[in-house]
């Protein structure tokens, strides 16, 4: 059997090995993971932080899962080098030869290089260890937390820590929260909900540095306001693809490891997938495209044809009580038409952007039940003139109207219900 070595047991390689192990074994697989465990659903760390799940519940592929499928696990062992000429990977405890290599090293939290960012008490939000540190801190010594970054990760960290009793301040450098995933109106509703929980939000914040005493963080300096007291600072200001190994091995690197549509790197025997790759100038920070990559790569490794394609993605926030959804391109630009519904009293907002008779983008706040319906309309590029009048009110309303004019449709609906 050929030897396949996989570096990283994260969500990307977990899905890849799901696919590969469903087929007749064609490889002897060795799986390295720097973390001392198998694969878990990283997305659900926010539910662990919020106290809604425990770590066992989010393990998708523990060591036993891999071992029963004949995969050699080298967990808690970092790969420290790759020799592409000798087709060898060097783990901390020794080398392994490969016929094919997969790099799935993911990303690390981007720690903003500012004064004091090295202090004890400044952490990222990426893995189990970060999450446990936050849980332990919030339950013990930590009363004041500053979260730098008001995107999805920062807000999930803030909500979880606040629920555990910490006083939390979120610093966000642009004028409204989640500015990449929401428009200003939806972000306004979100901010009101977050503040109603007792979390302080400062938008347009220019963070200048982190102050400390005796090596430990004490406060965060923000331009124009007094220092904000902090026992813990969580940096949620972006991610940095883990490319050092690939770079040292001489692979082509841009913002991340460059791959083709077959997920092949500049070395024909080395593939890469997940947050550590760059494809057509883009990097990836959501699991939907990464799971597509896993399917494509398994096909390729099995000798079949498949190519990775970029598709639309959607966003949700995993904070109970903050229901929002966005997908596609929802900026008002030339050639677009915008349908909007706002109910400030009930914190409901819907914005649907149309372009060339198709749904181009959507933002929902409050009631997000139609999110996937709109997302399907975007992805399928459905012509909408016939449903335009009812479109904004979502699928259920659309079905009701159809039912009132088309008895056949009423029967269909009855059959479904």
Residue ranges that bind ligand FAD, judged by CB under 6 A = 7-13, 32-35, 42-43, 45-46, 78-79, 104-107, 125-126, 153, 242, 245, 274-275, 285-288, 290, 318
212 or 274, CB closer to ligand FAD? 274
- Could you tell me the smallest distance in angstroms from the CB atom of residue 23 to ligand FAD? 21
Nearest Cα to Cα of residue 285 among 353, 237, 330:
237
Which residue, judged by CB position, is nearest to ligand FAD in the bound state?
10
- Could you tell me the smallest distance in angstroms from the CB atom of residue 77 to ligand FAD? 7
126 or 172, CB closer to ligand FAD? 126
- Could you tell me the smallest distance in angstroms from the CB atom of residue 398 to ligand FAD? 28
169 or 242, CB closer to ligand FAD? 242
Phi and psi (nearest 5°) for 74? -120, 75
Does an H or E element contain 46, and which? helix 45-49
Q: Is-contact 273 184, C-beta < 8 A?
A: no
Collapsing DSSP states into helix, strand and coil, what is residue 378?
helix
- Could you tell me the smallest distance in angstroms from the CB atom of residue 109 to ligand FAD? 8
260 or 382, CB closer to ligand FAD? 260
Rounded CA-CA distance 133/147 in Å is 14
**How far is it between the farthest Cα atoms of the chain?**
76
152 or 354, CB closer to ligand FAD? 152
Q: Give the contacts of 414 (CB within 8 A, at least 6 positions apart).
A: none
- Could you tell me the smallest distance in angstroms from the CB atom of residue 305 to ligand FAD? 24
Q: Give the contacts of 3 (CB within 8 A, at least 6 positions apart).
A: 27, 28, 30, 96, 97, 98, 99, 100
Three-state SS sequence of 254-299: CCCEECCCCCECCCCCEEECCCCEEECCECCCCHHHHHHHHHHHHH
- Could you tell me the smallest distance in angstroms from the CB atom of residue 100 to ligand FAD? 17
43 or 282, CB closer to ligand FAD? 43
Angle between helices 371-380 and 394-405 (to 10 degrees): 80
């Amino acid at each position: 059997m050929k030897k396949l070595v996989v570096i990283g047991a994260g969500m990307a390689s977990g899905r890849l090995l799901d696919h590969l192990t469903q087929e007749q074994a064609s490889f002897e697989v060795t799986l390295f993971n720097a973390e001392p465990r198998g694969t878990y659903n990283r997305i659900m760390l926010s539910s662990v932080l919020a106290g809604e799940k425990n770590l066992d519940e989010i393990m998708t592929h523990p060591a036993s899962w891999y071992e029963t499928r004949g995969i050699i696990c080298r967990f808690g062992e970092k790969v420290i080098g790759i020799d592409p000429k000798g087709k060898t990977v060097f783990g901390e405890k020794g080398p392994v030869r490969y016929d094919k290599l997969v790099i799935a090293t993911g990303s690390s939290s981007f720690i903003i290089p500012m004064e004091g960012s090295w202090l004890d008490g400044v952490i990222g939000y990426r893995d189990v260890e970060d999450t446990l540190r936050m849980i332990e801190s919030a339950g013990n010594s930590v009363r004041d937390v500053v979260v730098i970054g008001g995107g999805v990760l920062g807000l999930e960290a803030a909500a979880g820590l606040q629920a555990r009793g910490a006083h939390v301040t979120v610093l966000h450098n642009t004028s409204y929260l989640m500015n990449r995933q929401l428009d200003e109106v939806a972000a306004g509703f979100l901010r009101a909900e977050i503040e109603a929980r007792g979390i302080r939000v400062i938008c347009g914040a220019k963070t200048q540095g982190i102050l400390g005493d005796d090596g430990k963080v004490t406060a965060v300096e923000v331009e124009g306001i007094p220092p904000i007291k902090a026992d813990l600072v969580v940096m949620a200001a972006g991610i940095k693809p883990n490319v050092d190994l690939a770079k040292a091995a001489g692979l082509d690197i841009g913002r991340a490891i460059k791959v083709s549509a077959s997920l092949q790197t500049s070395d024909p025997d080395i593939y890469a997938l997940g947050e550590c790759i760059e494809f057509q100038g883009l990097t990836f920070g959501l699991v939907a495209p990464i799971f597509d990559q896993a399917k494509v790569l398994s096909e390729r490794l099995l000798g079949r044809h498949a190519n990775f394609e970029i598709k639309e993605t959607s966003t949700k926030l995993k904070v109970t009580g903050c229901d929002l959804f966005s997908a596609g391109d929802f900026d008002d630009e030339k050639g677009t038409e915008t349908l909007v519904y706002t109910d400030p009293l009930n914190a409901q907002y819907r914005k649907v952007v149309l372009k060339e008779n198709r749904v181009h983008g959507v933002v929902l706040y409050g009631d997000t039940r139609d999110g996937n319906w709109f997302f399907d309309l975007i992805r399928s590029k459905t012509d909408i003139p016939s449903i335009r009048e009812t479109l904004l009110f979502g699928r259920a309303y659309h079905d009701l109207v159809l039912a009132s004019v088309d008895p056949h449709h009423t029967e269909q609906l009855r059959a479904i219900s």
